[in-house]
């Protein structure tokens, strides 16, 4: 039975840039970005990195499925799981794919079609038998994908653009902001506005303030900046996300220890973890 008020996020991929399966990342997980967010009976999915394949496998038994997939952007680590999403091959299922970073020069259908194109990939987008709708919007717009579910968005600072999301359900909120670079001098006002008063904020924390130097322009941020933004915007729970593939479990344990001393209740995302506002 579905609890019509249950609101939660489950992490299927927490890693940035490239998947890194192996004994040294087994606890935090090696798959790239993918979140499942349940708003009662409604299913929202965010990003289709390598974790998306595992989410798909878990969903097979729920057919017929109607769900929305929101993409932060289309760098490969956020879309490469799409062709391996088994529910996409069931004609009973229906999906809408949303992207806010491509207009006016591209559309999401065109860009995903370019990824699934020979000789880079053996089959095209048309292989999917589920009903798939492609929806481009402008980051900054607000979307109401289902009754009682509000998705607010904001543009992020990332090469080729990206979209940040705030999902609201039953007066609670979960924010997902990955692949964004901060400016060391001033906080990103668009992000502060989006996350104000949120219950959970999942933020691109690939680097530390120290290791950020020399990586300006790469499009990523630090866990210290995430903490500062959450403090400034009165956020309840800060979640470190988009881990560097070179950061093994021991390294992530140290980050978890440090952040929980500085901002108690903060969390380092792990594959399989479920968080509720
Ligand atoms: Zn990424
Ligand atoms: Zn990216």
DSSP codes, 107-164: -HHHHHHHHS-TTTSSS-GGG--SEEEEEE--BTBEEEEETTEEEEEEEE--TT-EEE
Tell me how far apart the alpha carbons of residues 252 and 68 are, in angstroms, rounded to a whole number.
31
Cα 72 to averaged position of ligand 2 atoms, centre (Å) = 8
Cα 51 to averaged position of ligand 1 atoms, centre (Å) = 13
pLDDT string in tens for the chain (277-residue length): 678 899 999 999 999 999 999 999 999 999 999 999 999 999 999 999 999 999 999 999 999 999 999 999 999 999 999 999 999 999 999 999 999 999 999 999 999 999 999 999 999 999 999 999 999 999 999 999 999 999 999 999 999 999 999 999 999 999 999 999 999 899 999 999 999 999 999 999 999 999 999 999 999 999 999 999 999 999 999 999 999 999 999 999 999 999 999 999 999 999 999 999 9
Cα 5 to averaged position of ligand 2 atoms, centre (Å) = 33
Cα 165 to averaged position of ligand 2 atoms, centre (Å) = 15
Which ligand is closest in space to the CA of residue 34?
1
Mean pLDDT value across the chain: 97
Cα 15 to averaged position of ligand 2 atoms, centre (Å) = 12
Tell me how far apart the alpha carbons of residues 120 and 27 are, in angstroms, rounded to a whole number.
32
Tell me how far apart the alpha carbons of residues 78 and 71 are, in angstroms, rounded to a whole number.
7
Which ligand is closest in space to the CA of residue 204?
1
The predicted-structure confidence for 112-132, as pLDDT tens digits, reads as follows 999 999 999 999 999 999 999
pLDDT for the residue 250: 98
Cα 258 to averaged position of ligand 2 atoms, centre (Å) = 26
The reported pTM is 0.98
Cα 215 to averaged position of ligand 2 atoms, centre (Å) = 14
Cα 160 to averaged position of ligand 2 atoms, centre (Å) = 8
**% of the chain surpassing 70 pLDDT:** 100
- Among residues 238, 213, 236, the alpha carbon closest in space to that of 223 is found at 238
């Amino acid at each position: 039975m579905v609890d019509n008020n249950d609101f939660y996020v489950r992490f299927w991929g927490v890693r940035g840039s490239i998947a890194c399966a192996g004994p040294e990342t087994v606890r935090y997980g090696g798959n790239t970005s993918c979140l499942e967010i349940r708003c009662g009976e409604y299913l929202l999915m965010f990003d289709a990195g390598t974790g998306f394949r595992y989410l798909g496998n878990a969903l097979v038994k729920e057919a017929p499925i109607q769900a929305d997939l929101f993409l932060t952007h289309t760098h490969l680590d956020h879309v490469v799981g799409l062709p391996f999403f088994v529910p996409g091959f069931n004609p009973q299922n229906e999906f809408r794919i949303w992207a806010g970073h491509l207009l006016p020069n591209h559309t999401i259908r065109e860009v995903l079609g370019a990824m699934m194109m020979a000789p880079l990939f053996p089959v095209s987008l048309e292989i999917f038998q589920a009903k798939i709708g492609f929806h481009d919007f402008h980051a900054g717009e607000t979307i109401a994908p289902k009754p009682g579910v509000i998705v607010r968005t904001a543009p992020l600072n990332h090469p080729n653009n990206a979209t940040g999301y705030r999902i609201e359900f039953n007066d609670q909120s979960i924010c997902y902001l990955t692949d964004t670079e901060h400016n060391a001098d001033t906080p990103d006002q668009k992000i502060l506005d989006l996350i104000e008063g949120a219950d959970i904020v999942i933020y691109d924390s690939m680097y530390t303030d120290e290791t950020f130097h020399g990586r300006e322009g790469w499009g990523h941020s630090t866990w210290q900046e995430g903490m500062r933004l959450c403090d400034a915007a009165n956020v309840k729970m800060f979640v470190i996300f988009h881990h560097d593939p070179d950061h093994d479990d021991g390294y992530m344990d140290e980050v978890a220890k440090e952040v929980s001393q500085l901002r108690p209740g903060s969390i380092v995302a792990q594959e399989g973890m479920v968080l509720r506002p």
